[in-house]
């Protein structure tokens, strides 16, 4: 009863920002992402009827506390689905360097769901696997697929219609992403807390939700046509709208630091100089820059030169779940 799966992280071009139900992770809006080749998690799950509790090793170290509880709680969902009361040993290796500024929860829960479901003998199709993965971490449900994926928020209270679907496969378009890592302290507001506070108190949240359906429709037509300017403009504006909601929250907060603004400005300057590039930012200070392969060298050099930039990690589109 052992299986190993690999999952890549993803970057949202239309952000998931807001939950309508926290316990089973149901979002307030659809979101759309690109799975990234450069950052992934490999997880092995072994169920054994002789085990008396779950155990979880991350990069070779035994994990306890809240991260352990999240993994063990997620294994409960897998056990419930399979109707089997059996504990597991989980070993994960993260190729998502914390320094790259990506949350490892997307690749982590996607790999855990895939390996766990297979190890316990569940035969899930992609939608079922995405629906299960969603309950570990929302953004993870998009990492089941390679290339571009959309998480449909659904409307049912039980979450049965809330899962991701593929939009375009990895071969469709070689859109690149540079992860710009900034010299910053740990973020003070987790994405979970940030989302909750914004949903509950920001007067701008309604405006954010109103703008999603047009952004989604337009970006999907841009992706289909491989129209970089269209996709980049929509992704950048969508990110700015998400971050604007945080300024209206009570108490207000922002994920940006001074260097975040400097990188945003550099991206605008690149565009003014005829090099197409657009930025997007998640629940932290680091900036991700969208670009095309032919501009990789210039983009990389220009971003690396910014004072306060620690590292620039480049990535191509990545594949969905695989089993090893």
Interface region with ligand 2P0, contact rule CB under 6 A, candidates 132-140, 172-180, 243-251, 299-307: 132-140
Shortest Å, Cβ 24 to ligand 2P0: 10
Is 15 a residue that touches ligand 2P0 (CB under 6 A)? Answer: yes
Is 284 exposed, middle or buried, given 0-12, 13-18 or 19+ CB atoms closer than 10 A? buried
Q: Among residue numbers 138 through 157, which ones bind ligand 2P0 (CB under 6 A)?
A: 138-139
Binding mask 281-300 for ligand 2P0 (x = CB under 6 A): -xx-----------------
Q: How far is CA 121 from CA 78, 112, 214, 253, in A?
A: 10, 14, 41, 45
By beta carbon distance, the residue nearest ligand 2P0 is: 138
The answer to whether residues 161 and 282 touch, using CB atoms and an 8 Å cutoff, is no
Shortest Å, Cβ 89 to ligand 2P0: 23
| Residue number, 4 or 29, with CB nearest to ligand 2P0 | 29
Binding mask 193-232 for ligand 2P0 (x = CB under 6 A): ----------------------------------------
The set of long-range contacts for 225-229, using a CB threshold of 8 Å and a minimum separation of 24, is 226/172, 226/173, 228/175, 228/276, 228/290, 228/292, 229/276
User: Residue 48: how many CB atoms within 10 A of its CB?
Assistant: 12
Applying CB under 6 A, among 152, 192, 226, 233 the residue interacting with ligand 2P0 is: 192
- Displacement of CA 211 from its chain's centroid (Å): 20
Is 104 a residue that touches ligand 2P0 (CB under 6 A)? Answer: no
| Residue number, 16 or 256, with CB nearest to ligand 2P0 | 16
Helices (H) and strands (E) in the chain, counts: 8, 14
DSSP assignment, residue 72?
Answer: H
- Residue 4: phi and psi, rounded to 5, are -130, 135
The answer to whether residues 290 and 238 touch, using CB atoms and an 8 Å cutoff, is no
| Residue number, 35 or 139, with CB nearest to ligand 2P0 | 139
Interface region with ligand 2P0, contact rule CB under 6 A, candidates 13-21, 161-169, 288-296, 301-309: 13-21
The residues that touch ligand 2P0, with contacts defined as CB under 6 A, are: 12, 15-17, 25, 31, 103, 105, 137-139, 191-192, 282-283
């Amino acid at each position: 009863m052992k299986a190993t799966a690999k999952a890549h992280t993803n970057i949202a071009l239309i952000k998931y920002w807001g939950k309508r139900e926290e316990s089973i992770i149901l979002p307030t809006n659809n979101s759309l992402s690109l799975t990234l080749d450069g950052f992934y998690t490999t997880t092995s799950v072994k169920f054994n009827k002789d085990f008396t509790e779950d155990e979880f090793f991350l990069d070779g170290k035994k994990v306890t506390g809240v991260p352990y509880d999240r993994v063990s709680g997620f294994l409960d969902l897998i056990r419930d689905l399979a109707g089997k009361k059996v504990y597991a040993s989980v070993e994960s290796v993260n190729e998502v360097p914390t320094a790259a500024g990506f949350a490892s929860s997307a690749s982590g829960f996607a790999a855990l769901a895939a390996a766990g479901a297979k190890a316990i003998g569940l035969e899930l199709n992609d939608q079922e696997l995405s629906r299960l993965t969603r309950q570990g971490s929302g953004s993870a449900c998009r990492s089941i697929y390679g290339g571009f994926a959309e998480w449909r928020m659904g409307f049912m209270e039980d979450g049965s219609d809330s899962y991701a679907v593929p939009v375009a496969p990895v071969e469709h378009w070689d859109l690149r992403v540079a992860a710009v890592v900034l010299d910053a302290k740990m973020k003070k507001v987790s994405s979970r807390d940030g989302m909750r506070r914004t949903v509950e108190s920001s007067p701008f949240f309604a405006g954010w939700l109103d703008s999603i359906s047009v952004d989604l429709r337009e970006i999907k037509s841009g992706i289909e046509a491989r129209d970089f300017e269209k996709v980049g403009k929509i992704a950048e504006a969508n990110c700015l709208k998400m971050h604007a909601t945080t300024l209206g929250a009570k108490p207000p907060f922002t994920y940006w630091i001074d260097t975040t603004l400097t990188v945003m400005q550099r991206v605008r300057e690149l565009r003014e100089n005829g090099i197409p590039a657009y930025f997007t930012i998640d629940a932290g200070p680091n900036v991700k820059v969208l670009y095309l392969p032919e501009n990789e060298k210039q983009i990389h050099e220009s971003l690396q030169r910014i004072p306060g930039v620690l590292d620039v990690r480049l990535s191509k589109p990545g594949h969905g779940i695989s089993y090893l």
